[in-house]
Amino acid sequence: MSEPLIPTAQKPISNRRDSLVMLSRVANSLYWMSRYIERSENVARLLDVNLQLMLDFADFDDDQLEKHWLPILCSAGNEKTFFQLYEKADSESVTEFLTFREENPNSIISCLFSARENARQVRDQISLEMFETLNECYLFLKSSNAREVWQTGAHEFYEQIKKYSHLFQGLTGSTFTRNEGYEFINLGKFLERADKTSRILDLKYHILLPSVADVGGAVDAAQWQAILRSASALEAYRRFHVEDILPKKVAEFLIFSPTFPRSIRACMQHLDEDLHRLSGKERREYKSPEERAFGKLLSDMNFMTIEEILDTGLHQFLQLVQTTLDQLDDHIYREYMHHPPVDTQAEILLHQQQMQQQQ
């Protein structure tokens, strides 16, 4: 017996009869709807930027191409599935895989189909405008038109995908009631965004570790610029640092900026506030070991410098960020969304017992 006969012992029974209660299943759908949309936008931007970057490196041979695209593939996961479908990683195969392949659960099309399926599950909770936007996006991707747009101009296609996400997030801000559901939408968005920013920055560690001769050269600069653009951060960075694009400064900006809304720290700050609003705990109190680990990392980041991170290793630090976020995701699921599955046999037994006792 893995589940107790009366699995509700671990969950309190409330007598609330107000309109603010939220089904666990609904919380789960709102969270994933939001994560998938944010993910699709990030994948779209990453691909768009790198396709454009490749225009400047038209003389790359197969080997160099693979060296460029493989880490991008790995950062999005599912490289195993990729090699079942394609022989080699190049611009065409990787972008197709990450855009249209339904075999890949993290492709843009899979993300947006899942987002829309989740939205359908909570059709009664979200605004008509939010649903219509997502549904329009779904209908666009389902139509043959989508692939035509992509083939004739990938940039326009990715622009369109990003616009759906921006529109959706804007409408969420302007039409969704600030209730518990809003916290789950935000948790999904900021957790995904922090994770993606860390992965984009980590790309440089994988691919872009150039030979010593390249450091500071044209290739290096172009690549760092691509990193910034992948996080939608180029202009923000320039306003902040009126000088050349320096690797250290880029890493610092994307990790620490308290004001740029896609930096890891800014996203984690939002997460921290949402977590507290949900749990009702005081500001520096945390509900579980996972939340505490998250709080500790955020707190450390308030005192750390980029030099310290680079000394111990940027990659190691980014991995710590990703692990902490993964564990936080687990915690959110267990705490708010998971109820032990109903064991029908046990339930039947229980009700038969209860009915006998009444005789």
Partner 1 sequence: MLLDNYETEDFFDEMFTERGGGVRPHYQRVADRLQLLDSGEHRRKQTAVDLAFMRGGVTFTVYNDDQGTERIFPFDLVPRVIPDTEWQRIEKGLIQRITALNLFLHDIYHDQKILKDRIIPPHYILGAKHFRREFMGFNVPKDIYVHVCGTDLIRDRDGNYLVLEDNLRCPSGASYMLENRAALKRAFPDLYRNARVQPVDNYAADLRKVLQYVSPPSLGSAQPNVVLMTPGVFNSAYFEHAFLARQMGIPIVEGRDLVVRDARVYMRTTSGLVPVDVIYRRIDDDFLDPTVFRPDSLLGVPGLVHAYRSGNVSLANSIGTGVADDKVVYYFVPKIIKYYLGEEPILPNVDTFLASEPQDRGFILENLGKLVVKSANEAGGYGMLMGPWASKEEIESFREQILANPRNFIAQHPISLSRHPTWCNTETGGRFEGRHVDLRPYILYGEKITVTPGGLTRVALRKGSLVVNSSQGGGSKDTWVLHSDS
Binding residues for partner 1, rule: CB under 8 A, are 6, 8, 11-17, 19, 21-27, 117, 120-121, 123-124, 128, 131-132, 135-136, 139, 180, 336-337, 339, 342, 344, 347-348, 350-352, 354-355
Smallest gap from residue 293 Cβ to partner 1 (A): 22
Smallest gap from residue 131 Cβ to partner 1 (A): 6
Q: Which long-range contacts (CB under 8 A, 24 or more apart) does 157-160 make?
A: 157/99, 158/44, 158/45, 158/47, 158/48, 159/48
Nearest CB to partner 1, comparing residues 238 and 334: 334
Nearest in space to 110 (alpha carbons), one of 43, 198, 29, 190: 43
Give the type of residue at 252: E
Nearest CB to partner 1, comparing residues 14 and 144: 14
**Strand, coil or helix: 296:** helix
Distance of CA 179 to the CA centre of its chain: 22
Nearest CB to partner 1, comparing residues 6 and 215: 6
Smallest gap from residue 287 Cβ to partner 1 (A): 13
Helix or strand run (H / E) with residue 304: none
Smallest gap from residue 274 Cβ to partner 1 (A): 13
Nearest CB to partner 1, comparing residues 130 and 309: 130
8 A C-beta contact, residue 188 and residue 181: no
Nearest CB to partner 1, comparing residues 124 and 307: 124
Q: How far is CA 234 from CA 48, 70, 156, 198, 258, in A?
A: 14, 24, 20, 16, 16
Smallest gap from residue 26 Cβ to partner 1 (A): 8
